[in-house]
């Protein structure tokens, strides 16, 4: 199914300006409670570096004050931009929207709760600056000693099993596809977000499948991570949908729905 058209940024003055070093994309649905702390952390991180940067919060049709929070914080946070999906589409749609709006040399997306601290971006960006890779994905599986707060045992085990299924169905080599902390060379990776079709939580395997299919070099990097009990991923409903998304990825590839350009 073709995704609905993306809505333009809600911030005026959308003309292209000087190039940026880094874009940070934060998908958000009803995040009025968590966003202030998250954006304060991101702002402090940017201040500690010399990046020319932007922070794009993609509001996925929130029914709370998410948009208002971003607008208020943006009055003294010039790097902050609010983008609206218009209505609720899903995390995958929001990440796609933000990554296609981004204009930094590197574009990173992160969960709104910063389960992976924003300072871990240094690890991903170091890999990209080295020039050997086009993308760097955060991983909880490569060094589990870095997990500061574990998920409940059943949920953690289910995640490990799901990753095995991902590798079997898609052929992806990664130990952790679902960590919501990934960075790319924006221009090299733009095509994968243009062709991304999955709009929900199962979008990560699709963008990685497309990345490898198009010859992008992706590094898996161990990062610190802490489980947030307020996670919005439903253990059963979303897991089933993500499994079905894996089958759709293989079907789309078989049917030639992913351009090889």
Domain extents in the chain: 20-253
Q: What is the pLDDT of residues 43-74, one digit of tens each?
A: 999 999 989 999 999 999 999 999 999 999 99
What confidence score (pLDDT) does residue 261 get? 63
CA–CA separation, 115 and 108 (whole Å): 14
What confidence score (pLDDT) does residue 11 get? 43
Q: How many residues does the chain have?
A: 261
Cβ atoms of 122 and 48 within 8 Å: the answer is no
What confidence score (pLDDT) does residue 185 get? 98
Please check the confidence at residue 158 and state whether its pLDDT lies above 60. Answer: yes
Class of the CATH-defined domain 20-253: alpha beta
Cβ atoms of 106 and 99 within 8 Å: the answer is no
Q: What is the pLDDT of residues 6-35, one digit of tens each?
A: 444 444 344 456 789 999 999 999 999 999
Residue 49 falls in which region: left (phi positive, over 0), alpha (psi -120 to 50) or beta: beta
Q: What is the pLDDT of residues 164-191, one digit of tens each?
A: 999 999 999 999 999 999 999 999 999 9
In this prediction, residue 259 has a pLDDT band, given cuts at 50, 70 and 90, of confident
In this prediction, residue 154 has a pLDDT band, given cuts at 50, 70 and 90, of confident
List C-alpha distances in Å: 97 to 58, 67, 122, 130, 147: 7, 16, 24, 27, 29
- At 16, is the secondary structure helix, strand, or coil? coil
Query: Which of 153-162, 180-189, 205-214, 234-243 shows the lowest per-residue confidence on average (mean pLDDT)?
Result: 234-243
DSSP string, 110-175: E-TT-SS-GGGHHHHHHHHHTSS-SEEEEESSS-GGGEEEPPPHHHHHHHHHHHHHHHHHH----S
Cβ atoms of 100 and 193 within 8 Å: the answer is yes
CA–CA separation, 74 and 83 (whole Å): 12
């Amino acid at each position: 199914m073709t995704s609905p058209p993306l809505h333009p940024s809600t911030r005026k003055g959308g003309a292209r300006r000087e190039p940026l070093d880094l874009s940070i994309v934060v998908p958000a649905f009803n995040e009025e409670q968590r966003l202030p702390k998250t954006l304060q952390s991101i702002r402090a991180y940017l201040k500690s570096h010399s990046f020319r940067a932007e922070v794009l919060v993609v509001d996925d049709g929130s029914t709370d004050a998410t948009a208002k929070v971003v607008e208020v914080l943006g009055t003294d946070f010039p790097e902050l931009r609010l983008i609206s999906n218009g209505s609720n589409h899903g995390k995958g749609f929001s990440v796609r929207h933000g990554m296609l709006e981004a204009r930094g040399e590197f574009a990173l997306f992160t969960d709104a709760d910063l389960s992976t601290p924003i300072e871990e971006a240094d690890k991903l960006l170091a890999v990209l600056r080295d020039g050997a890779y086009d993308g760097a994905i955060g991983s909880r599986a490569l060094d589990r000693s870095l997990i500061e707060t574990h998920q409940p045992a059943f949920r953690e085990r289910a995640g490990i099993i799901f990753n095995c299924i991902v590798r079997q169905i898609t052929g992806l080599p990664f130990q952790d596809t679902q960590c919501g902390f990934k960075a790319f060379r924006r221009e090299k990776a733009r095509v994968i977000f243009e062709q991304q079709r999955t709009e929900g939580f199962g979008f990560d395997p699709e963008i990685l499948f497309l990345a490898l299919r198009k010859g992008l070099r992706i590094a898996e990097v161990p990062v610190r991570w802490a489980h947030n009990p307020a996670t919005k991923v439903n253990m059963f409903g979303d897991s089933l949908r993500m499994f079905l998304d894996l089958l759709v990825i293989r079907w789309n590839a078989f049917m030639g729905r992913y351009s090889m350009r």
